[in-house]
Amino acid sequence: MKTLAPLTKLPYFVVFILVQSLLLINAQAIEPTTYPNQTVHVTTPFPPGGAADVVVRLISQKLTEELGASFIVDNKPGAGGSIGAKFVSQTSPDGYNLLITSSSTMSINPHFMKKIGYDPFTSFTPISLIGYSPNVFVVTPNLPFKNIQEFIAAAKASPGKYNFASNGPGTSSHLTGELFQQSAGIELLHVPYKGASPAVVDVAGGQVTGLFAAFASVGPLVKSGKLKALGVTSLKRMEIAPQIPTLNESGLPNFESLQWWAVYGPANMPASIQNKLNEAVNKILKQPETKARFAEESIFVLGGSPEDLKTYLRNDYNKWGKVISTGKFTIN
């Protein structure tokens, strides 16, 4: 009876191929249990501070606890978040470089920036939605308006008389103002600022009529009476401020404008790593302490599968594309 030749008697190249095949099979078999076994870099394409920083640092800290390896945050701001997103899209898809970013980077910037350096649908591996935060429409407190209907009526009666501030051209606060004008059939003057803080200060001081802003940025001023909140841009009221009605219930059916956050990796990430991260993020989002911390920033938890994130992005991308193509404005 014939027997197989021992490895030492086989040609060198045959032995090499056999060994490499065994190593590959073994690596594939243990991949789900060994990842992560080194530091994971989590890029946020925004500077420190604000709701985005709360999101990325909390999720990174919880992933460290959940998966047993260090998930450290790298801030790579610039170009409305596009620099950090492009950086991650060009890294190895081994799970050791992740991106936690917002809707502005994925749904809005690609419509404005021709040389953005990435495609939101093909340059990344979707991992999981995290949550969303609505904007609140606030106005100078000495204005007589008691609700959003009165503001809309006054704006229709005097086109161009009232204005709204934004955090800058192309930001969520800007486009929410554009969507508001289109939905309400009114005309407002856009007054762009370099960030939320100076915009909020001028609205509170009466230099500008109103502003769409994250509740975390304006909540204390609303509570102190230095700003008047007329409506929130989510379909349901915020638990942290249930007295503020939604625009949806105030005469603008289905009006919704949300800033959302999600976890991505570079394109072509192995499914085993993608799924492991998805499971970990969803587990984290269900923890009471996570929900409580997010609630402090008026962030609603989402979660879900990678497919849920793909669908959510597609719908939001199409929505803002329509607003931008319809609006009478340009951004360089």
Q: How confident is the model at residue 23 (pLDDT cuts 50, 70, 90)?
A: very low
What is the distance between the alpha carbons of residues 199 and 135, in angstroms, rounded to a whole number?
14
Predicted confidence (pLDDT) per residue in 175-217, tens digit: 999 999 999 999 999 999 887 888 999 999 999 999 999 887 8
Q: How far is CA 123 from CA 89, 118, 195, in A?
A: 6, 6, 28
Q: How far is CA 240 from CA 128, 145, 220, 229, 296, in A?
A: 25, 23, 12, 13, 7
Is the pLDDT higher at 3 or at 108?
108
Domain boundary assignment for the chain = 35-133+258-326, 134-232
Task: Identify whether the C-beta of residue 134 lies closer than 8 Å to the C-beta of residue 101.
Answer: no
pLDDT at site 217: 80
Instruction: Look up tokens 């360089």; give the residue.
Output: 332
Answer whether 35-133+258-326 and 134-232 agree in fold: yes
- 163-179 mean pLDDT: 89
Which CATH class name applies to 35-133+258-326?
alpha beta
Which CATH class name applies to 134-232?
alpha beta
